[in-house]
Chain A
Amino acid sequence: MSDINTIIKPENLIYKRTDVLSDNDLSYCPGCGHGTVHKLIAEVIEEMGIQDTTIGIAPVGCSVLAYNYLEIDWQQAAHGRAPALATAVKRLMPEKNVFSYQGDGDLAAIGTAETIHACNRGENIVMIFINNGIYGMTGGQMAPTTLPGMAASTCPHGRDVSHDGEPIKISEILAQLPGTCYVTRQSVHTAANVRKSKKALRKAFENQQANKGTSLVEIVSNCNSGWKMTPIKSNEWMEENMFPYYPLGDIKNQ
């Protein structure tokens, strides 16, 4: 152990918690990808030096309390309305860096209209979209993104596509709209994927600074409570089941 004590000293520090994260403990379940994405946003804000000029729009969903976790300015929108509120904030204060943070229930169910029209207008904002295929906060109900055959509290025998339709690939739809400049799908379940997601988030904020239009960063994420699995098992399940339907990578990059 003496080895360790000679290594743990300030000049050898290579990774520490960014000060853009607050000291508050996250309300998320152990292992939930929301926390990793929050941290990446905080690190990008720190590295770009935009802590004082960034405004986040928190959604309704498990991340409703996001404003407690990043030391930036925030607004909190009604369920699904984050893109409309982000539009207003960015139009009133074009010099600010504005992003929405939304779950799949928020962005692709109740907020579908706001999402599509903000992207169609090419609002110069960043939209960060956490797709865990379920309504996490309210107890794991089926979402438009729930996979065929996947059990949820409102479809305990699995999603029946003859009754409920196929899961919506909202990012592919949004990529069709001329207002989006960058649409990408990433994940945070391995270290390599975490690094790629961070690059994608940085690119999205840089696009906003270059006035390029709407950037959408989808993160396919776990909901171990809703899926009723351990965090490690849920990441494995995500790889096997979510990625074939929601393939990772850039969908649009202009």
Chain B
Amino acid sequence: MINILGIESSCDDSSVAIVGDGVNILGNVVANQEAYHKKYGGIVPEIAARKHMEHMLPVLDHCFNESGLTIDDIDAIAVTHRPGLVGSLIVGLTVAKTLAYIHQKPLIGIHHIEAHAYAACLAGLKYGTPHVALVASGGHTSLLRMSEEGRMALIGQTLDDAAGEAFDKVSKLLGFGYPGGPVIDRMAAECNHTGIEFPRPMLSSPDFNFSFSGLKTAVMYHRKKHSESSSEQIATAFQEAVVDVLVSKSLQATQKLGLNTLSVVGGVAANSALRRKFKEICDKRGLSLFIPPSRLCTDNAAMVAGLGYQKYIRNLLDPLTLGVCSHSGMILQKM
């Protein structure tokens, strides 16, 4: 078995994983900084970088313990080097380079968004299957066309706020706090009638782009005009609108590209209403759907190590001079 050590530190969470042959998760440890962020109301980048420094080595140790392996069992080291917060990325990359240098292991730089899409391969999708991937998180809302060779093309993205960002902001507007996703999900699960219909932005635009900034305005305005609606009802109606747009656009893209496989990844893919709706519609239309379990949807290093394996066996290695990059470098393809 070929074992890849994966390291992820692009945003809030420090994570280390060991994955065998691209799919067997032997260890996957995530130190979540949520406790700090709750206290500070969001991310404090300086703290985020410092916390990554504090967490990274214990998480690495923990991962080796969990897997029962040692560094000698590792064939290569894969690390997220773009896109993300520069200070945070550097922590992971430095650990990866140090290990690679000391133990003479190949280094593989990983694109965070490609790693998210790879999470579907940890949930049964065969690597290289042409499909559409929806990556929806706090920082991203992108539709990708994944092609045979594992190449990806950006075919749609948000023009303003990301879906996860919209959850956080609406949650804050309604007084539920940070992070917004899980709270709104829970709230909506208990609310069966809202009587509110928020707009579905961009639903009928001919491209595959998204726009979520208008929903903040709609929520704010509704709250000021309709004091009879409860926060729970507003949150639920908001979630319905987001889910509706994400599902419809993904299906439009799948249809337009003539593909029959779809994956949904990124932190927002942990949302239970989104999972349910995707499953319902894909079942009806006979599409194959891959949504990884929640712990593989949110940031984790298993997706990094898994994708690292695919690069490793294709000899796509990087030099020790590899650097970090804050932006994704992906250019929207005109459809």
A binds B: no
